[in-house]
Amino acid sequence: MKKFLIKSGLFLLLFLGVNSLFTLYLDFQLPRNVRHKLFWVFSHQQQHFDFVIAGHSRAFNLVDIPTIQKKTNTTGLNIALGGSGLTDNYLIFRKFIENGNHVKNLIVQIDIYSLNSAQSFGYPFHDFLFLPYIYTDYIGDAIKRHRGWLRYFFWKYLPCTRYIEFNSKYDLEFLRSSFRTDSGWNRSLGSKIFYDLNYKNFKKPPARKYSVAPIDSLYLEKLLEFTREQTINVVFYTAPVYYKLQGYHNTQIPDRFLQEICQKYQIPHLDFTALALCQNQYYFRDYNHLNSAGTLLFSEILSDSLNHYLKR
């Protein structure tokens, strides 16, 4: 019995050791997949940008960076991620800066969906994308806040468990792609514009009373405190919505909160929800997202406004 226990213990230690080494390899290799938007963003190091755009899909899909660059005579990048909450926005931007990149202006698309990401998105904190960086203090802290101590403990100290849990996200094809150096993001500079003008989906979502989630409020302020420390200029904007959605939701609480935040941190807020283009369904694919025609037009309008607020 004693020999059996010793052999079982040795086998378990060997198993955990091999799996831990393999996990460390995955921590190194998976982020090299620059075909994935987030890891493409993190592949930038020691570069200078006049501005970056952050936010969820209404930033990721609704701005054309080359248009803004041309109209403002600046250099920029889109670091937004679809379906991402403010925790993601903070972690992405801070990690981007700590990679040695220099940014003068952070342009944040913010709206009722950002301020209550759990109510708005199916998976608002993309924990699995930050697993390779779990040993970084502020990333580990975010994982603890969102997923709890127990899961954080297992992911950090039994590292094989983190990739076992997310094996559907990090499959063999994802690993294969990490050995390729080509990326489709370089041409668009991080944006993914909807070019199908024929796609239309105008089924109204359920009417809701929106509030501000404490976790989103917390990470918005963390983001703003970090930009203050780094002396980075911040501009908020809210992208267009199709006019029939305006007034449909009760937004009094997030509207008041956003006004207070802007006053506290002296941040301009550019609200584009009542533009003339918001009256024309041609420019939209659904209530909250522009198509390519709308995105190109809006990018010109956004550029004209940013010219008054960008730090040069």
CA dihedral 151, 155, 158, 160 (to 10 degrees): 130
**Confidence at residue 14, expressed as pLDDT on a 0 to 100 scale:** 61
Q: How far apart are the C-alpha atoms of 93 and 108, rounded to whole Å?
A: 11
Q: Which pLDDT tens digit goes with each residue over 170-191?
A: 999 999 999 998 888 999 999 9
What percent of the chain shows pLDDT beyond 90?
81
Residue 129: which of 250, 39, 234, 245 has the closest Cα?
39
Q: Which pLDDT tens digit goes with each residue over 128-151?
A: 999 999 999 999 999 999 999 999
The verdict on domain 29-306 having CATH code 3.40.50.1110 is yes
Q: Where are the domains of the chain?
A: 29-306
Task: Name the band, by pLDDT with cuts 50, 70 and 90, for residue 16.
Answer: low
- Which structure tokens are listed for 288? 């909250």
Q: Which pLDDT tens digit goes with each residue over 107-117?
A: 999 999 999 99
DSSP 182-244: --THHHHTT------TT--B-PPPPP-B----HHHHHHHHHHHHHHHHTT-EEEEEE----GG
Mean pLDDT score of the chain, rounded to an integer? Answer: 93
Radius of gyration of the chain (CA): 21
**Confidence at residue 247, expressed as pLDDT on a 0 to 100 scale:** 78
Task: Name the band, by pLDDT with cuts 50, 70 and 90, for residue 203.
Answer: confident
CA dihedral 217, 219, 222, 224 (to 10 degrees): -70
Evaluate if residue 84 carries a pLDDT over 70.
yes
